[in-house]
Amino acid sequence: MAKKDIQTKLTGAKQNLNAVKAATGTDADKKAAAKLRDAKKKVRRAQRKLMLDKAVNAKREAQEANRVKKAATASEKAAKKEAAKDSALTAAAETPAE
């Protein structure tokens, strides 16, 4: 079974809900009312999944951005440390030995 996109599921659930609403009309028996409840439940479930998926993706993107930022900071720090070490060695080499 192919994995459906959450947005596609939401669209399908809304279409199903509208179809059930149109079929039942105003005076609905118990079976039609149950179908209507099930259709509403599917729409709400798809909306929750979509909202959760957006939140998870936003969190992952933020974590990735922080990881990249920390890596850049660490490499800059290492470069500064290496430059300071080189300048100290150069200064020590230039100092005349007595």
Q: Are 42 and 19 in contact (CB under 8 A)?
A: no
pTM recorded for the entire structure: 0.55
Q: Which of the four pLDDT bands, split at 50, 70 and 90, describes residue 2?
A: very low
Segment 32-87, tens digit of pLDDT: 778 888 888 989 998 999 899 999 999 999 999 999 999 999 999 999 999 998 88
CA atoms within 13 A on the CB side of 11: 5
Coil/strand/helix, residue 95: coil
| Among candidate residues 6, 82, 5, the one with its CA nearest the CA of residue 43 | 6
